[in-house]
Copies of this chain bind each other. A is one copy, B any other.
């Protein structure tokens, strides 16, 4: 069950109709999951900013690095040029190169890209090495392409799926989660959606309730659990026409959403936010005609509601990833899903759930 199914609300802004990143028109998400034997629990999630040729019709984008202990590929070019030219792939740490290779070949082989000699694949990752035999590098190019091919504008699966198959958050089973916000017309009317791959630690809070503390399951709570590492990949999409500078500022706000779930962005965490705008008013053609390009952008002064939306949607997406994940047995043992029988009483005690 997602948070909203339990009538738990995060923040004050309304959600989009699916409460998913795919509420942002044109955005497509696809998964490919790999379960094999006792020890392979991993997968791939692909996010496409639009359904066309992304290399030819780039989108303005930014990457904010919350904590750089990670292997995200493609950050420097996105930061320099302010745009994204491929699907975004999320996967496990030791299959980043597989994903990059697949994205590069996918792009080189797309119709219209016959003369492309350089492709900036953007691939994020978290380490699923507890549940998954990560050193085996089990994912193939084909798995990556499958995720891209599976991509749809429909609602996206959450929990144990794709890049979230083997992840762990706050000591519980993590996974993929998503959420969205739709600003009122008076604040621009824009839609903003977030998708996360949750795999990090801290002291879990659910809509403000100190669940981790109450369950006594949190980082540094005893000698057996002296570690808060892991990572969180966050993808933010919006139809607001934003340039890369304001997309970077937006990405930074999504980072704040981690904090609200109790994440501490530990030393070993690779926390990255990739933000892009789908608006045609800021689309970046591979070849600009003429000497200048016309844009229409949201000015600085009107950004704050979008900032609020990014924080709220990120918090909710992370929580959805936990609520939708299921207990998983894998390579080094079993990770329990969020134990609802213990969590719900805490939520009631803290007024998050009412009868």
Interface residues in chain A, defined as those with a beta carbon under 8 Å from any beta carbon in chain B: 11-12, 65-77, 79-82, 93-94, 96-98, 100-101, 104, 108, 116-121, 127, 129, 134-135, 186-188, 202-203, 205, 207-210, 212-213, 218-221, 223, 227-229, 241, 243-245, 249, 252-253, 255-260, 264-268, 270, 272, 281, 284, 287-288, 291-305, 307-308, 311, 349-352
Contacts and interface: CB of A to CB of B under 8 A. Distances in A.
Contacts of A349: 351
Contacts of A208: 205, 207-210, 350
Contacts of A11: 203, 213
Contacts of A210: 207-208
Contact of A311 (B65, B116, B134, B264): B264
Given A100-B97, A203-B12, A264-B308, A127 B117 contact: yes
B291 A188 contact: yes
A291 B298 contact: yes
A71 B77 contact: yes
A73 B73 contact: yes
Nearest to A298: B292
Contact of A295 (B71, B205, B297): B297
B100 A118 contact: no
A298 to B, nearest CB: 6
Contacts of A284: 299
Copies of this chain, complex-wide, total 4
Contact of A80 (B65, B79, B188): B65
- 4 closest Cβ contacts across the A-B interface? A208-B208, A68-B80, A68-B76, A256-B259
A94 B104 CA distance: 8
Contacts of A259: 256-257, 259-260, 311
Contacts of A135: 108, 116-117
Do most interface residues of chain A lie in helix, strand or loop, or is the interface mixed?
mixed
A209 B67 contact: no
Contacts of A266: 303-304, 307
A302 B287 CA distance: 10
A80 B96 contact: no
B241 A292 contact: yes
Nearest to A128: B117
Contact of A302 (B205, B249, B291, B301): B291
Nearest to A248: B245
Given A94-B118, A202-B308, A259-B260, 14 more contacts: A12-B218, A65-B80, A68-B79, A71-B74, A71-B118, A97-B98, A188-B291, A209-B350, A228-B304, A255-B256, A256-B256, A259-B311, A288-B302, A295-B297
Contact of A219 (B297, B300, B304): B304
A297 B288 CA distance: 11
Nearest to A130: B117
A265 B245 contact: no
